[in-house]
Amino acid sequence: MAPDRETEPYIGLMSGTSTDGVDGVLADLAGGSIRVLASAGLALPDGLRHELLALNAPGPDELARAARAANALADCYAAVTHDLLARAGLPASGIRAIGAHGQTVRHAPESGYTLQINAPARLAERTGIAVVADFRSRDVAAGGQGAPLVPAFHAARFGCGAGRAVLNLGGIANLTVLEDPVRGFDTGPANMLMDAWALKHLGLPYDRDGAWAAQGRCHAGLLAALLAEPWFGLAPPKSTGRDLFSPAWLDGRLAALPAGDRPAPADVQATLLRLSADTIADAVRRHAPDTREILACGGGARNPVFMDALARALPCRLSTTDACGVPAQDVEALAFAWLAQAHLQGRPACLPAVTGARHATIAGCLYPV
């Protein structure tokens, strides 16, 4: 397929809080359309994945380690970009821009900063394509949370209508309420704690299809201790990440249980799954009570045990974005293609009703070629 004046190809790249890999989408966004031309993915090398996870906590030689990790991540982004170009039959010169989020390692909007590891200049050099990155900082500077970033895209792709919401099940779960004005907020962990527990006890990056969680039983005492986290009681706008919901957060609550009442590892996994499902459902009841239909996307939408628990916990219908023509795994990467276009067109995409900022802002910074 050769590019022409009627097409407007963009690439979106996302490596989310789950830190398991890079998802990429090449899409034609001409004239307000959102049409996927190719999608691709790449698992992160184990060494890079472990380093990105380690950089979420203080450690020695952080600046140099973060710079090296950023370069390695940019090289993974470049590999996915070249794969997308090959799949779509497009040259690099035909792409308007790449939207590349980077890897969040600190998120503290209450302290006025958020930090994503990325090397967008290196990515532009490796691909010959302009890159839009650093999507959160301007909103944080305007007093916002800098997150979630995707609600404006969800509204553009899935429309605004009474009773519909989009639920992204990445490392963190975030909900977009498709009403006027569009609202969105994080609800808490989705896959992040389950993934960390699977890595610790199974040596695997995630619990495939929720099979291990299905072998366990929810531990009532642990669930109560986890649900007692004050963050869950906060009203939107709100966002979160590994800064709060870390393995250390879980370990502290496990250690506080009576010595004779410590759950087996599979029971902990089942409890973490229940925590994610229950906190999502509670957030819907409290902050989006008119929701009648939820479209799920992200990696968690491919976990049948998780989706079944959600369907039982939610007060409304649950399906996936596949029903609306967008594979659940492609939604977040597609959002960053759309955000790159919004930046180049000067359209604000960080919305005050979502982030709590003083005003709407244009997301991202441009690294031209």
Domain-wise residue ranges, the chain: 9-147+329-367, 151-328
Per-residue confidence (pLDDT) for residue 187, from 0 to 100: 98
Q: Please tell me the CATH superfamily of domain 151-328, with its number.
A: ATPase, nucleotide binding domain (3.30.420.40)
Q: Within 10 A of 162 (CB to CB), how many other CB atoms are there?
A: 10
Among 113, 185, 101, 181, CA closest to 143:
113
Residue 1: pLDDT band by 50, 70, 90 thresholds? Answer: very low
81: pLDDT strictly greater than 70: yes
Q: Please tell me the CATH superfamily of domain 9-147+329-367, with its number.
A: ATPase, nucleotide binding domain (3.30.420.40)
Average pLDDT over residues 43-51: 94
Per-residue confidence (pLDDT) for residue 160, from 0 to 100: 80
Average pLDDT over residues 72-80: 98
Read off the pTM: 0.93
Per-residue confidence (pLDDT) for residue 332, from 0 to 100: 95
* CA–CA dist 236, 185 (Å, integer): 6
CB 170 within 8 A of CB 298: yes
* CA–CA dist 13, 35 (Å, integer): 16
Among 8, 152, 132, CA closest to 77:
132
Q: Within 10 A of 105 (CB to CB), how many other CB atoms are there?
A: 22
Mean pLDDT of the chain: 95
Average pLDDT over residues 140-154: 96
Average pLDDT over residues 64-87: 98
Per-residue confidence (pLDDT) for residue 2, from 0 to 100: 46
321: pLDDT strictly greater than 80: yes
CB 30 within 8 A of CB 8: yes
189, β-bridge pairs:
172
177: pLDDT strictly greater than 70: yes
One-letter amino acid at 364 equals: G
294, β-bridge pairs:
165, 318
Average pLDDT over residues 43-68: 94
Q: Which residues touch 187 (CB under 8 Å, ≥6 apart)?
A: 173, 174, 175, 279, 280, 283
Query: Do the domains 9-147+329-367 and 151-328 sit in the same CATH topology, yes or no?
Result: yes
